[in-house]
């Protein structure tokens, strides 16, 4: 008997209630039954993003949503700025290059947040920049960027902001309209804790103007087709959607709104803090030094000297059944990442820290058993999100 616990920064564990909805008998996508759910999910996702902009659900992983943003918003040769500080911002740069854009990559040492002033400076220097792309939460490093500052800078220029909020939205407050974020991308499988396979994307009026004159070839991800299909009565998708995923998202969103968005953000912040303090207590170092830049979705931890980083994640999974994530790209073996987002509560954190302690003991790292767990309990008790 080895119970399994998923504690990665996505995909995240799915609640029984959402799984049961996921398993509902097929509704054909051209029926009033499904149309009602489809419209409701679209509306709820807009509420989650705090936006009145158009929003579309795509049947793809989050990367498909990123490609949709880039291929729709720009034209060949357009200059774009990518705030590059991790694996996923680098993906923005890669996709942009593939589709013929001129990419200015504003590179930061991984683990550091972007300084919004740098964005402003680049935009002043390059008034022909058409778009600025960044991650709300950069999953590979556990950084949260100041999307509010970014959006409010970019709005003053002849450029749009594109935000990959896939691992951030639902865990941290994002206000697409108040912060002037033109295109925001989310995914089903992160803080929503719904099954993998759906992305969603919001589009502002400023972005539509670019989309309408874009000359990059696109078909499956063409947002003009998505807009046309959504304008039908009842609203539709241009292609067959991931029906069971959308049905599951409907339930997941209901659960999130039942908790209350602000409560959910607070819960995630407390779980993040609890995790951070607990790993520090057992002598480990957090990867992100700037406390304000630490994400509520995922905590990146430095592998302690003398310990094989790859063994931490593999032993936690095989011996204790607890799946966390290792480092990606150049951080492989140097950090590990504990996800604490979605359908995740304090006792999940206790499990994560407890499994980490036992694994580190297995690997010969010296400290007193239970210190991390005790710290997690103490920090949580003082900041509890429970009533």
* Contact map string, positions 160 to 189, toward a second copy, x by CB under 8 A: -----------------------------x
Q: Does 220 bind a second copy (CB under 8 A)?
A: yes
Is the CB of 210 or the CB of 248 nearer to a second copy? 248
Q: Please select the residue that binds a second copy; options are 94, 289, 319, 330, rule is CB under 8 A.
A: 94
CA atoms of 118 and 293, how far apart (whole Å): 16
Q: Does 327 bind a second copy (CB under 8 A)?
A: no
CA atoms of 236 and 123, how far apart (whole Å): 38
Number of residues that bind a second copy (CB under 8 A): 52
∠ CA 73-111-336, nearest 5°, is 110
Burial (CB count within 10 angstroms: exposed 0-12, middle 13-18, buried 19+), residue 260: exposed
Q: Does 309 bind a second copy (CB under 8 A)?
A: no
Q: Please select the residue that binds a second copy; options are 110, 136, 150, 221, rule is CB under 8 A.
A: 221
Mark the segment that binds a second copy (CB under 8 A) among 97-105, 156-164, 167-175, 280-288.
97-105
Q: Please select the residue that binds a second copy; options are 35, 40, 47, 61, rule is CB under 8 A.
A: 61
Q: Does 370 bind a second copy (CB under 8 A)?
A: no
Q: Does 235 bind a second copy (CB under 8 A)?
A: no
Burial (CB count within 10 angstroms: exposed 0-12, middle 13-18, buried 19+), residue 86: buried
Q: Which of residues 102-131 bind a second copy (CB under 8 A)?
A: none
CA atoms of 234 and 290, how far apart (whole Å): 48
DSSP state of 333: T
Measured between alpha carbons, how far is residue 166 from residues 37, 110, 191, 195, 305 in Å? 22, 19, 8, 14, 32
The CB-based long-range contact list for 23-26 (8 Å cut-off, 24+ gap) reads: 23/244, 24/244, 24/247, 26/243, 26/244
Torsional class of 329: left (φ above 0), alpha (ψ -120 to 50), beta (otherwise):
left
Is the CB of 30 or the CB of 43 nearer to a second copy? 30
Mark the segment that binds a second copy (CB under 8 A) among 42-50, 60-68, 103-111, 137-145.
60-68
Q: Does 67 bind a second copy (CB under 8 A)?
A: yes
Q: Please select the residue that binds a second copy; options are 1, 2, 219, 364, rule is CB under 8 A.
A: 219
Least distance (Å) from a second copy to the CB of residue 221?
A: 8
Is the CB of 245 or the CB of 256 nearer to a second copy? 245
CA atoms of 86 and 198, how far apart (whole Å): 23
DSSP element (H, E) containing 338: strand 335-339
The 3-state DSSP class for residue 120 equals helix
Is the CB of 52 or the CB of 98 nearer to a second copy? 98
Binding site for a second copy (CB under 8 A): 4, 6, 8, 10-14, 19-20, 22-26, 28-31, 59-64, 67, 94-95, 98-100, 189, 195-198, 216-221, 238-245, 317, 323
């Amino acid at each position: 008997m080895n119970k399994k616990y998923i504690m990665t920064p996505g995909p995240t564990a799915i609640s029984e209630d959402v799984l049961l909805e996921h398993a509902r008998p097929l509704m054909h996508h051209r029926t009033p039954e499904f149309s009602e759910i489809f419209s409701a999910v679209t509306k709820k996702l807009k509420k989650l993003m705090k936006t009145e902009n158009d929003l579309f659900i795509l049947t793809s992983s989050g990367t498909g949503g990123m490609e949709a943003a880039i291929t729709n918003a720009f034209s060949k040769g357009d200059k774009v700025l990518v705030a590059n500080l991790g694996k996923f911002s680098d993906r923005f740069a890669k996709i942009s290059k593939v589709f013929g854009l001129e990419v200015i990559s504003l590179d930061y040492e991984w683990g550091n947040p972007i300084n919004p002033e740098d964005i402003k400076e680049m935009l002043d220097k390059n008034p022909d920049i058409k778009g600025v792309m960044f991650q709300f939460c950069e999953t590979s490093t556990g950084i949260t960027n100041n999307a509010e500052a970014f959006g409010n800078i970019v709005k003053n220029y002849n450029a749009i902001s594109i935000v990959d909020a896939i691992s951030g939205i639902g865990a941290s407050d994002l206000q697409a309209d108040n912060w002037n974020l033109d295109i925001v991308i989310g995914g089903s499988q992160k803080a929503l804790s719904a099954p993998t396979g759906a992305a969603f994307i919001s589009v502002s009026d400023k972005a539509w103007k670019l989309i309408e004159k874009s000359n990059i070839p696109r078909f499956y991800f063409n947002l003009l087709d998505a807009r046309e299909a959504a304008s039908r009565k009842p609203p539709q998708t241009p292609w067959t959607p991931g029906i069971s995923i959308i049905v599951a998202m409907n339930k997941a969103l209901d659960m999130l709104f039942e908790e209350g968005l602000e409560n959910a953000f607070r819960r995630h912040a407390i779980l993040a803090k609890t995790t951070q303090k607990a790993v520090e207590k057992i002598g480990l170092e957090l990867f992100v030094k700037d406390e304000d830049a630490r994400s509520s979705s995922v905590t990146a931890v430095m592998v302690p000297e003398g310990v094989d980083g790859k063994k931490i994640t593999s032993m936690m999974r095989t011996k204790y059944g607890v799946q966390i994530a290792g480092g990606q790209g150049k951080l492989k073996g140097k950090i590990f990442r504990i996800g604490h987002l979605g359908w995740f509560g304090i006792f999940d954190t206790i499990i994560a820290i407890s499994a980490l302690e036992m694994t580190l003991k297995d690997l010969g790292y010296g400290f007193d058993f239970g210190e991390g767990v005790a710290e997690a309990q103490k920090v949580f008790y003082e900041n509890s999100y429970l009533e």
